[in-house]
Amino acid sequence: MRTSSFLRSIVIGLSLAWIVPLAAQTKPAEKRELTRLLFVMDASNSMNAFWDNQPKINAAREVLLRSLTEIEGQPDLEIALRLYGHQTRIEPGKQDCDDTKLEVPFSPNSVPAIRERMRTVQCLGTTPIARSLLKAADDFPPTLFNDTRKVRNIIILITDGIEACDEDPCAVSRALQAKGIILKPFVIGVGLVGDEKYSLECVGNYYDAGTPAMFDHVLRLVISQALNNTTTTLHLLDVNGKPKETNVPVTFYDQRTGQQRYNFVHTMSSKGEPDTLTIDPLFSYRVVAHTIPPSVRENVSVKAGQHNIITLDAGQGDLELRTESAWGSERGIPVIVRKDGLDATLHVQDLNSTERYRVGRYDLEVLTLPRLTIPDVDVKQSTVTTISVPQPGVVNIVPTAQGPGAIFLKDGSELKWVVDLDPTAARHQFRLLPGSYKVVYRSDSARQTIYSIEKDFTITGGQSITVNL
């Protein structure tokens, strides 16, 4: 059995997995959210110890009730209370690790009941933190199908003493986060020393508070984060540091779990400024603007109750790939785009199209016959970089009979393979870039190498030729 002589306060924000966060709202009716605050209060035996000239339970109760009075009666807010360590008296060698109970369920007018229950609570038992967290996740009622409000379910856990039931609150916290239940953990330890502090860091973000006044301050801050709308603008910066980039899909990920929280297309307002978003401050975010390549910023936090500006380097220019074709569009020809000097494929763009890229240098490989490599293409801020691919020509290969063969590009004295002939086809047609070529062929009926046929031909853009074999 483990107990503590110090008061700690752990504040953990939890959200049920069915919550779907939204980006900026445009209609006032759509902004309505139902917020549920579940206070999970430690009432174990160690809360009887004195802290700042009064029992710890008295100091914690005073702070909690004062905070509830300040938020009582707010619209779209429901509050509930779970206690633990208050039903079974702890005895030497014996403790009740199931001593946790929802005392006041959720309702819009639950504060009087919470106030009355807190005034009568007796601190008797042990500290089952992990088990209380698990059961607390089920205290939130399901959202009614006809309730159009969005729901935010928050747990605020106030506890004294480290886990006393040989269970692992850190593992519980990680599991709930992995399932998308926990929004963002806060850990406030009061009077903790040494390993006691370290044992709380794995539960959430740790803060140390040495006095009831500091505890009061932190609790107010957490409640503010749970209740206040927090506004944010995302500035997509060009190479000059100006928020001029826009019309880019953006995803806000939960930094801890990787879960998608917001997806939207970046927009400029009617005033030509980045549009305002409503972002939940209980998350730390990984922000990805889906440029080519992506623009990414890690560990982005927003402060509750104020306007935040998030900046992201995302300078872009246009890459136009085009060709003139006597046979109409060559749009079906793909072009592989790679970052300069890298082998990995970044993107595939069709010929005769224009797409936006991050400012920088790129290598192109046009999948014509033969393939055309264009290195060191420089994409500049807010400009169009145009790459022209030579117009292909057409060659018709007419063999006397079916048989194997191939077409080669003549590069000085070297032959570079371009394409094989289909040995089952009676004739062949290929679109080739302008240049000098050689076809090498042998009929299926010819069983000696000396009967191989080779012919040279030249391709001119926009023209068609026939090669008889």
pLDDT tens digits along 226-283: 776 577 899 999 999 999 999 999 999 999 889 898 899 999 876 788 887 878 777 8
Pairing of strands 372-379, 360-366: antiparallel
Task: Residues 8-227: name the CATH superfamily.
Answer: von Willebrand factor, type A domain (3.40.50.410)
Other CB atoms within 10 Å distance of the CB of residue 417: 10
Q: Is the pLDDT of residue 26 over 50?
A: no
Cis-peptide into 293, omega within 30 deg: yes
- The tokens describing 125, both together, are 């038992």
> What is the bridge-based pairing of β-strands 414-420 and 384-388?
unpaired
Give pairs for 345-349: CB < 8 Å, separation 24+. 346/292, 346/293, 347/292, 349/319, 349/321
pTM for this prediction: 0.57
Tokens 């002939």, located at residue = 421
Fold of 316-388: Immunoglobulin-like (2.60.40)
Q: Which two tokens stand for residue 334?
A: 């793909």
Tokens representing 203 are: 């539960």
Select from 347, 253, 349, 341 the least CA-distant residue to 297. 253
Contacts of 146 (CB under 8 A, 6+ apart): none
What is the residue-averaged pLDDT of the chain?
83
Taking the C-alpha atoms of residue 310 and residue 292, their distance in angstroms, rounded to an integer, is 20
Q: Angle, nearest 10°, between helix axes 56-71 and 111-120?
A: 170
Q: What is the pLDDT of residues 80-127, one digit of tens each?
A: 999 999 999 988 888 999 999 999 999 999 999 999 999 999 999 998
Query: What fold is seen in the domain 231-313?
Result: Immunoglobulin-like (2.60.40)
Q: Give dist(CA 429, CA 397) in Å, integer.
A: 6
**Inter-axis angle of helices 129-136 and 169-178, nearest 10:** 20
In the chain, CATH 2.60.40.1120 sits at 231-313, 393-468
In DSSP terms, 197 is beta-bridged to none
Torsion, Cα 260 264 268 270, to 10 degrees, reads -130
Assess whether pLDDT exceeds 90 at residue 299: yes
The architecture that CATH gives domain 393-468 is Sandwich (2.60)
What pLDDT, in 10s, does the model give residues 158-169? Answer: 877 677 898 888
> Euclidean distance between the first and final Cα of the chain, in Å?
93
